[in-house]
Amino acid sequence: MLYTDVIIVGSGLAALVAARQLSKHKNVIIFTKSTKTASNSYMAQGGIAAAIGENDDWSSHFHDTMAAGCHYNKSDHVRALVQQGPEYIEQLIAEGLEFDRDTDGRIALGKEGAHSQRRILHAGGDCTGKVMTEFLFQSIQGNVTIKEQEMAVDLVIERGRCRGIKTIDENGAVHYRFASSIILASGGIGSLYSQTSNHDSVTGDGLAMAYRAGVELVDLEFVQFHPTMLWKDGEVLGLVSEAVRGEGAILVNDSGRKIMEGVHPLGDLAARDVVAREIFKQQQQGLDVYLDISPVSYFSNRFPTIHKLCQEYGMDSPLLPVTPGAHFLMGGIKTGRGGETSIPGLYAVGEVAWTGVHGANRIASNSLLEGVVFGHLTAEKILDQGSSQRAEIPVRPRPQVFTGMLPEKQAIRRMMTAYAGVERNQRGLSILKNWLECYFNPHLPVSLDSRDTAEKVNMVTAAWLITTSALTRMESRGGHYRTDFPVSRTEWNNKRIIRQMQEQAAVM
């Protein structure tokens, strides 16, 4: 039996920022189901957005974030994000974190989609996440225990408070770990789809655990597809950062047409949902889409990770074959500014959390920023609570509602890609919902006693949550595009009002 002050599930940037701050005053243990570097944060290429440029200011970053999010964002949290972000980043720089600089020694700022300014700080060219997380691993060394290969499979809730987690280690042994505060920082849902930028281990575990425990979740239909996954023979090989388009690369189809021309005023640098949909549309017409990197100067220096990836797969042509892939979930566990959830003692931060800052579609490079800002705010909130709540036993595991026959992971990915992908509609979502519900059976409960079973149960649960949310939202907005409701409710209302006015004018 293990007791500590704070348990964190996950080892991405938000987890590390919170752990670092908390460990100055409390004992902190991080549990991760894989290795500590197996996170989306570690793989993040583009960078971290912050209004630090000479002609930039937080209000411009605020405006761009809101516009990309279709104004569905929680504006006070966006304000906290963009106002506090630069300060936290400057602190990290002062402590030794190194971002790339230009020849004059100033921080080099990149450009990405939907940003009106160059405001993306990057490190190692295109391995910003790796540089940032390694810096944080270094700075928590000796102060925070990291338990790798131990998967959290359920939350322990007693008398309305989260007291701990149930875990399974790499030998299949079950443990109960208790703490005064539990932080879920377990990432998103990318691996529910056949094409994804995410690490394989990102299977919606945090969402599913939270759902089983009755924690409030929100906006799960908003799934972001990154437009440019490098791919070959139907297999995704890795991400090609949006920063590449920021340096001049252009999307073309196999007849050489610039596909974003005339689609959106921002062209290739429109928000991700717009670009991903256009690529998808081209593919539906039987056309292949390529990212033409020939306009990018010094590609191999500026983007060494992507360059290496292309070399590994023998891609010498400047035309990189690309396809959209699941990248980020805008919805998640509903949290307040300090990461607090609807269950006392439980906090959430990073992609698993809904802070509302991303609205219906996250703008580029705001996810590492969210990790830094809300990681801090969550740690501060926990420190403010004091240490009065001591964890208690005993444990009464909640019954599960899945049949012993679970689908293969590949089958879940195929179904999600086909019916809850870049485009959705009532018919497809209903097929998907019915298929997922075949695996629900309260009379044949499956117990979460192996990691593989737990992952499959979590994948079915998260898939079902996304599907039912997508069925409920009868409009298109940001990352949720319904072919049977192709406009947003706001647009639809505006059109209706205009029509009514025209009709009235015609009568008069």
List active site positions: 272
Label residue 501 exposed, middle or buried (CB < 10 Å: 0-12, 13-18, 19+). Answer: exposed
Q: Which residue, 115 or 166, is less far from ligand SIN as judged by CB?
A: 115
Query: Of residues 364, 391, 460, 470, which one binds ligand SIN by CB under 6 A?
Result: 364
* Smaller CB separation from ligand SIN, 68 or 153: 68
Q: Give whichever of 44 and 236 is closer to ligand SIN, judged by the CB atom.
A: 44
Asked if residue 200 lies in contact with residue 483, where contact means CB atoms within 8 angstroms, the answer is: no
Nearest to 192 by CA among 154, 223, 162: 223
For 199, the token pair is 């690490």
Q: Which stretch binds ligand SIN (CB under 6 A): 56-64, 157-165, 361-369, 431-439?
A: 361-369
Using CA atoms in the order 87, 347, 218, 363, what is the torsion angle rounded to 10 degrees?
Answer: 20
Give yes or no for residue 188 binding ligand SIN (CB under 6 A): no
Smallest separation (angstroms) from ligand SIN to the CB of 455: 24
- The Cα-based distances of 331 to 35, 219, 465 in angstroms read 26, 4, 11
**Does residue 61 sit in helix, strand or coil?**
helix
Q: Which stretch binds ligand SIN (CB under 6 A): 40-48, 136-144, 201-209, 429-437?
A: 40-48
Quick count: other Cβ atoms within 10 Å of Cβ 396?
8
Only one residue has tokens 């405006």, namely: 63
Q: Do 81 and 375 meet the contact criterion of CB atoms below 8 Å apart? A: no
Using CB positions, name the residue nearest to ligand SIN.
Answer: 46
**Residue whose CB is less far from ligand SIN, 186 or 365:** 365
Q: DSSP 3-state assignment of 448?
A: coil
Instruction: In angstroms, give the least distance from the CB of 362 to ligand SIN.
Output: 7
**Helix residue ranges per DSSP H, 35-121:** 40-43, 58-68, 75-94
* Helix (H/G/I), strand (E/B), else coil: 359: coil
Beta bridge partners of 29: 7, 145
The distance of closest approach from Cβ of residue 191 to ligand SIN in the complex, given in angstroms and rounded to an integer, is 16
Range 429-488, binding ligand SIN (CB under 6 A): none
* CB of 159 closer than 8 Å to CB of 342: no
Size of the site for ligand SIN (CB under 6 A): 9
364-375 burial, b for 16+ CB within 10 Å, e for fewer? bbbbbbbbbbbb
Minimum CB distance to ligand SIN smaller for 23 or for 197 = 197
Q: How far is the CB of 350 from ligand SIN (least distance, A)?
A: 13
Under the criterion CB under 6 A, does residue 351 sit at the interface with ligand SIN?
no
Report the site for ligand SIN in 42-61 (rule: CB under 6 A). Answer: 44-46
Q: Bridge partners of 482?
A: 424, 485
Per the DSSP assignment, residues forming a β-bridge with 109 are: 121
Q: Per-residue x/- marks for ligand SIN, 210-249, CB under 6 A?
A: -------------------------------xxx------
Q: Is position 365 an interface residue for ligand SIN (rule: CB under 6 A)? A: yes
CB of 170 to ligand SIN, least distance (A): 30
Q: How far is the CB of 242 from ligand SIN (least distance, A)?
A: 3
Question: Going by DSSP bridges, is the β-strand pair 235-239/2-9 parallel, antiparallel, or unpaired?
Answer: unpaired
39 is an interface residue for ligand SIN by CB under 6 A: no
**Residue 367 contacts ligand SIN per CB under 6 A:** yes
CB of 478 to ligand SIN, least distance (A): 14
CA 268 to chain centre: 22
163 versus 362: smaller Cβ distance to ligand SIN: 362
Q: Does 323 bind ligand SIN (CB under 6 A)?
A: no
Based on CB atoms, which residue is closest to ligand SIN, 37 or 366?
366
CB 111 within 8 A of CB 248: no
Interface with ligand SIN (CB under 6 A):
44-46, 241-243, 364-365, 367
